[in-house]
Amino acid sequence: MSARKTLQWLGRSMLSLLTALLLVGVGFYLHYLWAGPALEPWHRARLDAEFKAADYDAGRITTLVQYVARERELRQQLDDEIRARTRRDGSPFNRYAAGSRSDPDQWSTNWNMTFVLEPRGETNGGVLLLHGLTDSPYSLRSLAEVLASDGRRVVGLRLPGHGTAPSALLRFELEDLQAATALAMRDLRRTLGPDLPIDVIGYSNGAALAVGYALDALDARDDASLPRPSRLVLISPAIGITRLAALGRIRTGLSDLQGFGRAAWQLIEPEIDPFKYQSFPWHAAGVTQRLTSTVARRIARLAADGPVRGLPPMLAFVSTVDSTVQAGKVADALLGKLAAEGHELVLFDVNRLSLVQPLLVDDPGPLTRRLLAQPHRPYALTLVTNETSQTARVEERRVPALGTDARRRPLEAEWPRNVFSLSHVALPFPPDDALYGYEAPRDVRHVQLGRIEARGENGVLSVPNWLLTRQRSNPFHGYLVQRVRGWLDVRRPDEVEAVAVEAVAR
């Protein structure tokens, strides 16, 4: 056989092989669409009462009172189109079944809606809370209660697409989230007057949204409709996420065809959590990818002319191991691009107890050592880690901006038994959180996901293993609260500047 014929034969063989692999892949995908979990009413409902950016732009909804009024319409639509269909569901763990242990109405407050906490005494500032993707205002509730007791007017904003049904994540857009954030900030400024500071705390996606808003306010310095935040607190900030999320921006139209509705969903899981969706559509991943990449590009573009100046001082809390976002990107793509104006990164290390170390798949030690050794780091760096490898007690190791000498301080805390790390979802919740805490007092009225200790064979339960094993609350939550309260200690703007300059001088 000649060389030419051999190449032709190889080409035809490769084409046949690739065609066969493609057909096998299509077959498996079609099997996934037809044989997987069925779509429920909460995956299909169209809740058209949801707030949209067009409502804000057209002047139909511009105040928090109007926003909450629209939420009530949305809540009624949820009751009519979904909850009414599941009244006879009989499941003890379905958030849409009235009276179930996952029913949010079993709680004294339904935290799926925007809330406002007013201080009992004099108001000395305002705080806007922005929750994460698939979450609800519940995720930052514990901080809200503490800050309200400190004299702040706290707004826990329910972001569009959240707190209702997973199907809402099929149709929300980044512009809707941005418009809701601008509305809440504008309303806080109107309520508080021109002088009191407004701080923003963002969790996960909400943290990226907070940074994006701060960039908008920086660009529009004289625009009264975009009040500038005084300070930012970023918890598990979604600054760098996996590139797989970009697949969520691909539109095939397949999910619009009869029988192919599952094509819109990356995950379809039982909705057992009263305040967080378990099912996840590809579109939501695309919105997150668009948000995070936009923020990263804007920071990089500004940093091309030198360190970015004028943004509010940022305090970021990150778990060194995080399956949702890339911890190193918070340092490299955000804080590392900023001028030394009082920013700080707090890293919660893995459990360094010697008995745990050999079991780690990927030790984040190289990341922390690299960041600690950077001599020109423009932000302070704090590591919360074991005092030694022989004890579960933890300490704080803090290095100032532009320095490498660590100051060590013992903390009154230690790693709980059997906990080897934190997680993306753990940081904002205390150990005694009624829903996610492992130390929560037993309450038979509602589900307690942090107390579940399931043992048995894999694949038997209808809920995924990660839902049962992932760390859901923060044993060092008291330290996080202490740091947040100190960070948001209300000062006049000129005093904030003085503190920033002093921090750089140290």
Residue 46 is assigned to a structural domain of this protein: no
Helix or strand run (H / E) with residue 344: strand 344-348
Residue 95 is assigned to a structural domain of this protein: no
d(CA 396, CA 313): 21
Residue 1 is assigned to a structural domain of this protein: no
What's the pLDDT tens digit per position in 48-105?
999 999 999 999 999 999 999 999 999 999 999 998 888 666 788 999 998 899 999 9
Would you tell me how many other CB atoms lie within 10 Å of the CB of residue 125?
24
d(CA 481, CA 345): 15
Residue 212 is assigned to a structural domain of this protein: yes
Domain carrying residue 271: 109-505
d(CA 137, CA 160): 11
Residue 74 is assigned to a structural domain of this protein: no
Closest CA to 475 of 436, 398, 422: 422
Backbone angles phi, psi at 356, to 5 degrees: -90, -35
User: What is the predicted pLDDT for the residue at 502?
Assistant: 31
Q: Which ranges of 165-204 does DSSP label H, i.e. alpha helix?
A: 174-192
Residue 93 is assigned to a structural domain of this protein: no
Domain count, the chain: 1
Question: Of 30-39, 104-113, 375-384, where does mean pLDDT reach its minimum?
Answer: 30-39
Residue 58 is assigned to a structural domain of this protein: no
Question: Of 20-34, 256-270, 370-384, where does mean pLDDT reach its minimum?
Answer: 20-34
d(CA 190, CA 74): 25
Say how far residue 500 (Cα) sits from the centre of its chain. Answer: 27
* pTM to 2 decimal places: 0.89
**CATH number of the domain enclosing 463:** 3.40.50.1820
What's the pLDDT tens digit per position in 189-233?
999 999 999 999 999 999 999 999 999 999 987 777 899 999 999
User: What is the predicted pLDDT for the residue at 247?
Assistant: 53
Residue 17 is assigned to a structural domain of this protein: no
Choose the most confident range, by mean pLDDT, from 25-39, 121-135, 477-491: 121-135
- Answer whether residue 35 shows pLDDT above 60: no
- Answer whether residue 259 shows pLDDT above 70: no
- Answer whether residue 320 shows pLDDT above 90: yes
User: What is the predicted pLDDT for the residue at 390?
Assistant: 93
User: What is the predicted pLDDT for the residue at 500?
Assistant: 32
* Greater model confidence, 19 or 418: 418
Would you tell me how many other CB atoms lie within 10 Å of the CB of residue 40?
21
Mean pLDDT of the chain: 87
* Strands 407-414 vs 393-399: parallel, antiparallel or unpaired: antiparallel
Under the banding of pLDDT at 50, 70 and 90, the label for residue 418 is confident
Strand-pair partners of 317: 235, 346
Our CA angle for 281, 282, 283, nearest 5°, is: 90
- Answer whether residue 148 shows pLDDT above 80: yes
Residues 186/62, Cβ–Cβ less than 8 Å: yes
User: What is the predicted pLDDT for the residue at 501?
Assistant: 29
What's the pLDDT tens digit per position in 163-198?
999 999 999 999 999 999 999 999 999 999 999 999
